[in-house]
Structure 1
């Protein structure tokens, strides 16, 4: 497997395009096109990715194939959603995004990025949270393999549409 590298400002455009393509590939069928377009317009544009790369509290790591194309990435940083009642915020961090190209699924890219993210979190926190779509059993099974447990719900807005996401927790 190609190495995992930290993203640089030069990677922002590629990460933004990859994130949009990944989200669209996986979830577009669930949304009205206007809701999807509204969401994507502000969700992960290159300027936002550049700001996240420059933010010392965040890191984005990626795997590129031999052709230079992104095969997957993980974004780690401070929590940016409301935690369910009773879930501690202190000493916690968030796995914001973990996306893998369709052709790279099942190749170990996701597992390697997840382990990188867990190691990143362990160096900074005692709890790692993530949010996952309630109707994404493949992702939930993947997170369960790494020891995450479901601790509550989170509303995830895509345009005017609101999905139920689940908040998952891993004690580090």
Structure 2
């Protein structure tokens, strides 16, 4: 116990000394500390990469790029933005797909239907789990819990047509009235 009090006293003293010099030290929230730990322990598949467009000083906002190496979406490149709340891990990160994609579980506005980002989120989950969940959406799209109902119906009823639609969309074509930018 005595050691803990000495550490706390030393921290208070250091804080006081830095404040008297005019510099301000930003105190990290519990969410930032946990996120930092999660990011340092990432074990991503080789087809996934993380980047920090605002620099490493803004860990709470980052991007993940997924380049599937198998399945319908093989050869595509899909970018997701992550916004992490200071309440993390008690609150799931907000994830959006920046790449317009023909997918049953991602709508045309970039919303993602992944159960661990909604009702199944638990504080024991982490960023690595979310990235693997997103990666799994590209290797095993799920027509049973869709955001894009048209794509889900095509996947369910005619997987060959679905595969053709995915290839057309990824190469910058049209599906119905919707045009997709090239993402290969």
TM-score strictly above 0.5 = no
**Which structure shows the bigger proportion of residues in strand conformation?**
1
TM-score of the superposition, structure 2-length normalised?
A: 0.29
Bigger relative CO (Cα 8 Å, ≥ 6 apart): 1
